[in-house]
Chains A and B, each alone.
Chain A
Amino acid sequence: MDIKTNNNIIIAENLSKKYNDSIVVDNINLNIGKGEIYGLLGPNGAGKSTIILMLLGLTEPSSGKISVSGFNSTREPLKVKRITGYLPEKLGFYEDMTARQNLAYTAELNSINQKEIPKKIDEVLEIVSLKKNKNQLVKQFSRGMKQRLGIADVLIKDPELVIFDEPTEGLDLKVANQILETTKRLNEEKDITFLISSHQLNLIQNICHRVGVLSKGKLIGEGGINTLGGNLFGGGKYRIEVEISEVSKDIIEKLKNIDKVKNINQDGNMIEVVCDEDIRSEISKTIANSGLLMTRMNIKDYALEEIYLKYFKEE
């Protein structure tokens, strides 16, 4: 699913942010291509929101620079914000105004032509299927409806880039998936680039083309979901765990000689084979040929969850 493109919309170079003595964002380099859905993953406090704020020019980097579509976020924040839609983590609307009034305000702040605003509002409300709630006060909206209204609010400026900060936080699974479906559709139909920050990777891993894993302000891994695990754990994409009756040097040597095996770790009767392909049949053949009994075998691919557990379990 990797999208290879030289046409990067977000470029961050050696981006750092310090608050007093604590480093929140530590020397980050990011390149996000046009048309990508990029997931920025990490536990709370890893620096995701700070990166987003710097990207929007709402806070200044301590060093390094970040740009959107060639506009420096710190120096030309208005140009950046004109093409960037931002759905903040704690999304708020004016509760005493209707959905339509809230969107009209955003549209006016974006200097959209007065005559086009009603048409535009209908259009974006249609996308998030809130058109019938147009004249309802926002305070009567459910959490999920507000989130959808948030998407409509972001779309009204016809953005090239959309930033979602924790878009699924506090939503039930069904609503969360609706939001993600909409995201995917918009990416495909309108070619909008998405930057999604989240700590709920199991939810967003299905729609992201690439993810970056952030821990304590550092980008510790980046890539497609499938390759990311390998990169992080060193070597292959799969790990095959085999339990055999008796472990000898001989069998380990034989297993190492199988093609595509990258590494072997032994722990008692358990052997962990790290490899690039699913070679379970070769492994079982080798073991059987040596006259040993295989008691158990299972295969793991690197689900993000595992990566996540490994890097964030101290949180």
Chain B
Amino acid sequence: MKSILTVYRKELADYFSSKKFIILLGLVYVAGLSSVYVSLQNIRAVATVYNENIFLRLFTTPGDVLPSFITFISFFIPLIGIIFGFDAINSERRSGTISRLLSQPIYRDSLINGKFLAGITTMGIIIASIVFIISGIGLRVIGVPPSSEEILRILIFIFICIIYGTFWMGLSMLFSVIMEKTATSILVSMALWLFLMFFLPIIANAIANSLAPLENASAAIQIKNFTIGQNILRISPSTLFSESIMTLLIPVGGHFMLQPVMTSDLSKMILNPLSISQSLLQIWPQLIAITALAIICFAISYIIFMKQEIRAT
């Protein structure tokens, strides 16, 4: 246990002094601050229509030119996760430090556990700090303090972001265990991310359209088309993540994306915000799935790492 802490402290110090940390932190801050700036421009117009949960709208209101903070963050979290994990093990192997490390009186898993925990902590610090900075600015500019429920929603939001980042870090760490070269492991992680992010929606759309063509389609077919597309998209953790945070941060109507809703039905609805427990109930399956994926990725890398030959060459 003590050796995990030693590895953890060293890795944490490494992360904080590394260039990649500073670059990522800078990127996230620039993106976060500019998105909150544009949402502050638009928030007054929005607030005149819906005046509930104004504070959460800081994070969800897009501007004319820039997307909202949650769009930014769902783009950056996989990037941060991948960059923190892709060279965790194979760089130690390349530089020859691994055999020296493992000949010290520590259990082999201390190394991977320590690195994993240090990565999660660093991600947590990046995400939480930008969310708190935005909250602070929001509080100052709009002058409406968040309700206790909003605070709770924001905290859960940070938590989900960290789990989602953990999944990506676990995945890229898995590649760093399997692959010898850091260049290969980052490339594979990135390729997978790009595929899930950009190509899966295209594929899902194509499959849905071929199974349930939308031309002159009845309402039932339209719903079928939507459902097929959505189910395919849910293979991707990024879909699960965006569904969760939208539902969580947009209490009024955010959960409509979870199931097909006809426009004709929408006009008859009385829109009321969901309570926080109802929001969580809606996204429970998504949260479980993301957590499970993160655990599975870490578990596989752990098992492979424990069984791997430690060769000096």
Which residues 92-117 of B have a CB within 8 angstroms of A? 92, 95-107
Contacts of A79 in B (CB 8 A): 105
- What is the CB-to-nearest-CB distance from A73 to chain B, in angstroms, rounded to a whole number? 12
Interface size class of B (residues with CB under 8 A): 20 to 34
- What is the CB-to-nearest-CB distance from A28 to chain B, in angstroms, rounded to a whole number? 19
- What is the CB-to-nearest-CB distance from B104 to chain A, in angstroms, rounded to a whole number? 4
Whether, in the assembled complex, A109 has its beta carbon less than 8 Å from a beta carbon of chain B, the answer is yes
Q: A109, B99: Cβ atoms under 8 Å?
A: no
Whether, in the assembled complex, B231 has its beta carbon less than 8 Å from a beta carbon of chain A, the answer is no
User: Given contacts A90-B99, A109-B6, is CB(A81)–CB(B104) below 8 Å?
Assistant: yes
Which residues 69-94 of A have a CB within 8 angstroms of B? 78-79, 81-82, 84-86, 88-94
Q: B96, A88: Cβ atoms under 8 Å?
A: yes
Whether, in the assembled complex, B310 has its beta carbon less than 8 Å from a beta carbon of chain A, the answer is yes
- What is the CB-to-nearest-CB distance from B155 to chain A, in angstroms, rounded to a whole number? 34
Contacts of B309 in A (CB 8 A): 59
- What is the CB-to-nearest-CB distance from A95 to chain B, in angstroms, rounded to a whole number? 7
Contacts of B144 in A (CB 8 A): none
Whether, in the assembled complex, B2 has its beta carbon less than 8 Å from a beta carbon of chain A, the answer is yes
Of B10, B96, B107, the contact of A91 (CB 8 Å cutoff): B96
Q: A109, B311: Cβ atoms under 8 Å?
A: no
Whether, in the assembled complex, A105 has its beta carbon less than 8 Å from a beta carbon of chain B, the answer is yes
Closest to A91 in B: B96
Whether, in the assembled complex, A106 has its beta carbon less than 8 Å from a beta carbon of chain B, the answer is yes
- What is the CB-to-nearest-CB distance from A152 to chain B, in angstroms, rounded to a whole number? 12
Whether, in the assembled complex, B182 has its beta carbon less than 8 Å from a beta carbon of chain A, the answer is no
Cα distance, A201 to B243, chains bound together (Å): 66
Of B106, B310, B313, the contact of A109 (CB 8 Å cutoff): B106
Whether, in the assembled complex, A62 has its beta carbon less than 8 Å from a beta carbon of chain B, the answer is no
Cα distance, A248 to B87, chains bound together (Å): 74
Q: A90, B313: Cβ atoms under 8 Å?
A: yes
Closest to B99 in A: A88
Which residues 132-173 of A have a CB within 8 angstroms of B? 150, 153, 157, 165
User: Given contacts A78-B107, A81-B104, A86-B103, is CB(A109)–CB(B3) below 8 Å?
Assistant: yes
- What is the CB-to-nearest-CB distance from B44 to chain A, in angstroms, rounded to a whole number? 49
Name 11 interchain pairs, CB-CB below 8 A, sorted by A.
A53-B310, A81-B103, A81-B105, A85-B103, A88-B96, A90-B99, A92-B96, A93-B95, A106-B100, A109-B104, A153-B100
